[in-house]
Amino acid sequence: MDRRAFLASSSLAAIAPIDLATLVAPSAPPTLPKRIRGKDISEVQAVAEDIYARDNAHGGGGLVGALATRAMQWAVGLLTVPCAEPLGAPLHAAVARLGIVVGASHFDTYAHDDARVAFKIAADCAEEANDWLLRAKVYSLLARQAVWIGDPDTGLTYAEKGLVRSDRLTPTIQAMLHTARARAFGKMGDIGGAMAAVGAADDAFAKSNPQDDPPWMSYYNEAQHHGDTGHALYDLVLLKDQDPGQASRRFEIAIEGHDDSYPRSRALSGTKLASLLMAKGDPHQATAIGHQAISDAGRLTSRRAADDLKELSRIAARHRRIPEVAYLRERISATLQT
């Protein structure tokens, strides 16, 4: 069906959804400006922050993912437009920032190749802009993605690349990268490496001053730091039978500190804490925490959050004769089906 036929039609009822999708697709590529203007850069920055907020509140799937993809296509197109020298670095920095949030959104839905493309563009743009802080953020995310998909060795390499010229990085950003190292070592089951990296992250974070950080690092607060380091210690507990106490305390701080702007982060820490307690502690306490995590995760289009819930259900199976645990597992199943 073409647009004229649609406009002549009086009803949507006879039109297949796939035809409607074709009808609303752009009939031509968007028109790029003839030269880069300051307002073009401001638009990219604003869209990046909007996608970032939506991704954290809702997850990277659905409309958020669609918005992210189209925004990235537009921003990459801007790189082909003539640009006066003073605007070159700001443009590349803005596209780098957008690539970071778009890549993170794709990572959350396991569109890993799309995420890598966005991260690669972001890394190249950050280097073109000579922005060491954005460069470090890209490599932190590449490290976390590699660890998540079961390649901690590559993840460690990315984290180390991000720490190159650490003298140019703020303590907060150094802490972020050391937590990425810790998570890689934790997934490897390297107790010494993970504990040393957690210690380095704690030392760097103790020197953190938010006024020294770019605005986009404001998310890395006490809650984020403790959640990230808690994930590294979580792997040591399950893989190497380490004491769960320190990991539990860190997750508790993370859950308490994440407000409603970051339900995914709160859900991820809550689900991990519930799994930890289900495996090594009190299943009744784990169940209560698990229900809280389900309430957060159930609102998200996040495959990471969904997979963590599946892991909690698997670990909880050892206590399935306890009625409260059985109900928790039923609720997880129902949540994952919606």
User: Does 9 have pLDDT greater than 70?
Assistant: no
On whether both 93 and 119 belong to a single domain, the answer is yes
195 part of a folded domain: no
281 secondary structure, DSSP code: S
Residues 113 and 126 in one domain: yes
User: Residue 31: pLDDT band by 50, 70, 90 thresholds?
Assistant: confident
pLDDT, tens digit, 9 for 90 and up, residues 218-235? 999 999 999 999 999 999
Are 102 and 66 contained in the same domain? yes
Residue 88 lies in a domain: yes
Cβ–Cβ under 8 Å, residues 149 and 171:
no
Which pLDDT value is given to residue 116? 97
| Residue at which a domain ends, from 76, 97, 130 | 130
Is 71 inside any structural domain? Answer: yes
Alpha-helical runs (H) found in the chain: 3-8, 17-24, 38-58, 62-78, 85-108, 112-128, 132-148, 152-162, 171-188, 191-206, 222-240, 245-257, 263-280, 283-297, 303-316, 323-337
Same domain, 2 and 82: no
Domain-embedded: residue 158? no
In a domain, residue 50? The reply is yes
Please tell me the total count of domains within the chain: 2
Residue 115: what pLDDT?
97
Residues 13 and 97 in one domain: no
Q: Residue 49 is part of which domain span?
A: 31-130
SS3 269: helix
Do 44 and 55 share a domain, yes or no? yes
d(CA 130, CA 126): 6
Residues 37-78 pLDDT 10s: 999 999 999 999 999 999 999 999 999 999 999 999 999 999
For position 288, what pLDDT does the model report?
97
Q: Indicate whether 68 belongs to any domain.
A: yes
| Residues 45 and 77 reside in one and the same domain | yes
87 with 63, same domain? yes
Mean pLDDT of 6-16: 51
64 and 2 part of one domain: no
Comparing CA positions, the residue from 106, 137, 132, 138 lying closest to residue 119 is 138
In a domain, 202, yes or no: no
Determine, yes or no, domain membership for 80: yes
pLDDT class of 338 with cuts at 50, 70, 90:
confident
Confidence at 6, pLDDT banded by 50, 70, 90: very low
Distance CA 102, CA 91 (A): 16
* Domain end among 113, 130, 147: 130
CB-CB contact of 123 with 143 (8 Å): no
Beta carbons within 8 Å of 23's beta carbon, 6+ residues apart: 1, 2, 3, 6
CA distances from 256 to 85, 113, 144 (A): 46, 34, 23
Q: Same structural domain for residues 17 and 92?
A: no
**pLDDT (tens digit per residue) in 158-206:** 999 999 999 999 999 999 999 999 999 999 999 999 999 999 999 999 9
CA distance 181 to 200: 10
pLDDT tens-digit readout, 99-156: 999 999 999 999 999 999 999 999 999 999 999 999 999 999 999 999 999 999 999 9
Per-chain mean pLDDT for the chain: 93
**Alpha-carbon dihedral of residues 295, 299, 305, 311, nearest 10 degrees?**
50
